Amino acid sequence: MVRLELLFRVRLKDEFARYGVPAFRSFVGVLEVLGGLAVLLGLAFPPWGAFGAAGLALLMILGLTVRIRIHDAPRLMLPAATFAAMNMALVILFLRA
């Protein structure tokens, strides 16, 4: 779920420019890395996993919102929606642990 390519790939740099938020690319990449690390820590400390997964779900929902606002095709929205749902499921699983 961590996408390090956000920090390094030129195509994604262009995508963030298309979204109208080029300054947020590095910030989003760092948040995704931190969220992924928190999910991994959640294997030992479930509250950390719930926190990380909730943060990643929020990032995906915000990404989905941006795509809706710029009228992207639904097929381009599917990955963000899927990752948001997966992370919300992880939140529930970590909270039950």
Model pLDDT for residues 30-51, shown as the tens digit of each residue: 999 999 999 999 999 999 999 9
Contact 7, 26 (CB under 8 A): yes
What is this structure's pTM?
Answer: 0.84
**pLDDT, mean of residues 6-28:** 79
The answer to whether residue 55 scores a pLDDT higher than 90 is: yes
Distances from the Cα of 61 to the Cαs of 14, 41, 46, 68, in angstroms? 20, 23, 22, 10
Dist. CA 16–CA 45, nearest whole Å = 34
Q: What is the predicted pLDDT for the residue at 95? A: 96
